[in-house]
Chains A and B, each alone.
Chain A
Amino acid sequence: MSPRPGLNSKRARSLISKRVEGISPSGIRKFFDILSTMEGAISLGVGEPDFVTPWHVSEAGIYSIEKGYTMYTSNKGLLELRQELTRYLYTRYGVEYDPETELLVTVGVSEGLDLAMRSIINPKDEVLSPDPTYVSYGPCTVLAEGVFIPIPTTVENDFKVKAADIEKRITPRTKAILLGYPNNPTGAVMERNELAEVAEVARRHDLLVVSDEIYDRLVYGVKHTCFASLPEMKERTVLLGGFSKAYAMTGWRVGYAAARHEIIEAMTKVHQYTMLCAPIVAQMAATEALRAGDAVVKEMVADYDRRRRVMLKGLNDIGLACFEPKGAFYCFPSVKVTGLSSEEFAEQLLVEEKVAVVPGSAFGECGEGYVRCCYATALSDIEEALRRMGRFVERHS
């Protein structure tokens, strides 16, 4: 009797679920590998703040460990944190959430998004979302067995989604609209009246709206509109927010979801069985972040704004046309003058000039022809990266 062959790689791969097999890994792996062995490279390819967490917030986390806060919290998260979130959302946006029933502390918006999708989607339900889109929206929809329907957006409309374009794609299977403004990757911000038109569509077709507002604090010269603050929208919005960007807390893994109690209850059920709770140290630090107020956030926002202006002007000066991004920390210039695809542009720029950017195609079809440049990086690096990109564009156009 010959021994059973071991589990080889091909066979192992065949054991992976079809659902997960169907999701493509992120398109930047290859850049990552080149970049990590390169000396003197400047990366505009990051998606997080370059500040460290404000010290008073970190210190609150350290203090909580010293005091022995190292256990689980209630599934929904520390009540003090939920109360602070209630206060925050009310004073900032005038939306009232009950901390006991309408708020859930999550492990970042990332988990909140997954919970929201799993809680509202039945197999084949359709989710409409503006393209270019944050990379997680499609996969989270698909993992929840939904169908992801991209809604094209264009530079002519500053990458803001038009209500009419959403409405055109509504079918009997449409369940929700998934919005992410201020936007990653484009930096687009929707004005209140523009969002009100989307709200009207949601109301008319009885849809839910999942609104990822992780960048709510990072807006420049405009006001952020919380989708739930629009008339009658609190009842159909799943609001996702977090601490990663505003407080430079990406590594702490904490965020929140706010919605009507039926939805929060459903999301809590999934959260309870899959995550149990968000890390207590991060929750205590987040509580301090909200309690201590705004000065540090404003300072960081002012700093991003300076760099935003430098990058925006610099890109336009070297011939990479860029609309003015009013939020997040990205510029999304067109690279069409070079005649290169966004992926070719990113790859050749990295090899020839050692500057990393993310090809727009990683964010959907409408991202083709653009690249994402993050300005959450030192001013001197931005200036040097722009010089190198200028040389590159000159050679390639």
Chain B
Amino acid sequence: MNKEVLKALERDARTTPEQIATQTGISMEEVEKTIEKAERDRVIVKYKTIVNWERLGEEQVQALIEVKIQPQRNVGFDAIAERIYRFPEVRSVYLVSGTYDLAVFVVGKTMQEAAAFVWQKLATLESVQGTVTHFLLKRYKEDGEILEGGGEKGRRQPLTL
């Protein structure tokens, strides 16, 4: 599978097959075939947009919850991870090394909503031994994109030899 095609889409999902063909020198047919196959094989999982909701003044609360788990015989962490990631409020779940086991990202409209999810749904799960909730205060960079500040770039002279 041609990685250049995937990288082009990863940079900008709206790049057309024609543009990709011009940029990479790969034929249009091959670009299209690659994309089709990648979608079919779920190598391309989904096309999404990074939205900076804060810019619109939208209130959205995100929390990182450290979850300590008592692993279960035979299934390890996977079964409990699934119990957790099936909740739609949960945006991401990672198994991590260190002092806790699962890093869970939760979104809610308000802090109460996110917190309620933790007490009512997460903390009450049998194999969950403890949780620590960190509310996100500011997003500086997400998925490789700088969202606020820090991204300022000097301007070049408009003409140089």
Contact = CB atoms under 8 A, between A and B. Distances in A.
Contact of A362 (B19, B22, B23, B161): B161
A41 interface: yes
B157 interface: yes
A193 interface: no
A309 B159 contact: no
Q: Name B's interface SS.
A: loop
A358 B159 contact: yes
Interface residues of A, number: 26
A232 to B, nearest CB: 34
Given A52-B153, A52-B154, A313 B160 contact: no
A32 B160 CA distance: 9
Given A32-B158, A32-B159, A309 B153 contact: no
A35 B24 contact: no
Interface string B120-161: 000000000000000000000000000000000110111111
A307 B23 CA distance: 7
Contacts, number: 48
Nearest to A26: B161
A48 interface: yes
Given A48-B156, A50-B156, A52-B153, A309 B161 contact: no
B88 interface: no
Contacts of B22: 309-310, 313
Interface string B90-125: 000000000000000000000000000000000000
Interface string A338-378: 00000000000000000010100010000000000000000
Contact of B24 (A46, A134, A306): A306
B25 interface: yes
A379 B20 CA distance: 12
B25 A43 contact: no
A31 interface: yes
Contact of B159 (A45, A50, A379): A45
Interface string A14-45: 00000000000010100110011000010101
Nearest to A308: B23
Place the interface of chain B in its size category: 10 to 19
A47 interface: yes
Interface in A68-107: none
A267 to B, nearest CB: 24
A135 interface: yes
A35 B158 contact: yes
Contacts of B156: 46, 48, 50
Contacts of A356: 158-159
Contact of B158 (A26, A43, A135, A310): A43
Interface string A47-62: 1101010000000000
Contact of B161 (A36, A47, A52, A251): A47
Nearest to B157: A46
A135 B25 CA distance: 32
B24 A28 contact: no
Contacts of A307: 23
Scoring B19, B156, B161 by chain A CB atoms within 10 A of each residue's CB, the highest score goes to B161
A45 B160 contact: yes
Interface string B15-52: 00001001111000000000000000000000000000
Given A52-B153, A52-B154, A35 B159 contact: yes
A309 B24 contact: yes
Nearest to A379: B23
Contact of A45 (B8, B19, B153, B158): B158
Interface string A228-266: 000000000000000000000001000000000000000
Nearest to A383: B19
A135 B160 CA distance: 10
Nearest to A357: B159
A310 B25 CA distance: 10
Contacts of A35: 158-159
Contacts of A36: 158
Contacts of A47: 160-161
Contacts of A52: 153-154
Interface string A121-145: 0000000000000110000000000
5 smallest CB-CB distances across A and B, nearest first, come from A306-B23, A45-B159, A47-B160, A135-B161, A43-B158
23 contacts: A26-B161, A28-B159, A31-B159, A32-B158, A35-B158, A35-B159, A45-B159, A46-B156, A46-B158, A46-B159, A47-B161, A48-B156, A50-B156, A52-B153, A52-B154, A135-B161, A306-B24, A309-B25, A313-B22, A356-B159, A358-B159, A358-B161, A379-B23
Interface of B: 8, 19, 22-25, 153-154, 156-161
Given A28-B161, A48-B160, 5 more contacts: A32-B159, A45-B158, A48-B156, A313-B22, A379-B23
